[in-house]
Amino acid sequence: MRWLGLLGFLPMFLIVPDRPLLGEMKVTVLDVGQGLSVVVQTAAHNLLYDAGPKFNEQSDAGSRIVVPFLRGEGVVKLDGFIVSHNDLDHSGGMASVLALMPVAWLASSFTPEAELPEAQTKIPCFAGQAWIWDGVQFEVLHPGFESYDDATLKDNNRSCVLKVSSQSGSLLLTGDIEKEAEIDLLKTNSAKLKSDVFTVPHHGSKTSSSLDFIAAVQPGVSVFTTGYLNRYGHPKPVVVERYQAANSLMYRSDYHGALEINFADKNKIEVASWRSQNKRYWHDIFTQEAFAGE
């Protein structure tokens, strides 16, 4: 009768995770430690923005976190993959993702001398690129195409900034832009910055999140993607205070874990924290003082 045990495997093949409906999107900010990786899913398409850090020569967030999550979601192909800039905490898992998952196209702000792994299509990201998947609009707001001729520009300030707009709300992904890039965005795309949810630039560093930029974005939800007890002290208390003053609902990946954000209800964006739903005794106790880095 052991053959009956095969029935136990049926859920693996028959139960498929729910997909967003047309015009809706599901966004998952993965907990990759000190780094960034965000998955945007629409009704029939999947986009990955950044692939988290490289931990050592044998391990990175791409193979350990990103690809396992995608497979758990039933994703067999990425329709697009954006790597915001050439920093290991954002691009460290890129090679593993490309090796383990089919990718239709790869966009990045890497300069020509940077070595990129093989991909079907490789393109530079630049302001003005736009497309629509399943009723959801994607638009690159930064950098300008001319920035690739500026050898003095820091990689952080050439980060691909992506605005994603659904019928239920909008998302702004900012990479590691610093104040110089924020000023440029305020000059060139200020009207498009306002977003319901956004990833705080540069993990809450003092180099970013200027008051004018926060005022333009007006984020209802701000996500700090930081590593637990990271050596940089991110997010900086002074930066946290700016978002508190803006009445933004704040989340930290080191305390809340991965975040699933559903843009399905026109009246309410749902944010679910992995650690609040999967509590473990070894998790640190969250306090408001700890959130502010005090």
> pLDDT tens across 247-264, in order?
999 999 999 999 999 998
What domains can you pick out in the chain, each with its CATH number? 21-275 (3.60.15.10)
Helix, strand, coil percentages in the chain from 3-state DSSP, rounded to 5: 30, 25, 45
Asked if 35 and 76 count as a contact pair (C-beta separation under 8 A), the reply is no
Both tokens assigned to 197: 């949810």
pTM above 0.85, yes or no: yes
pLDDT of 133-190, one tens digit each? 999 999 999 999 999 999 899 999 999 999 999 999 999 999 999 999 999 999 999 9
The CA distance from 17 to 72, in Å, is 8
pLDDT at position 293: 40
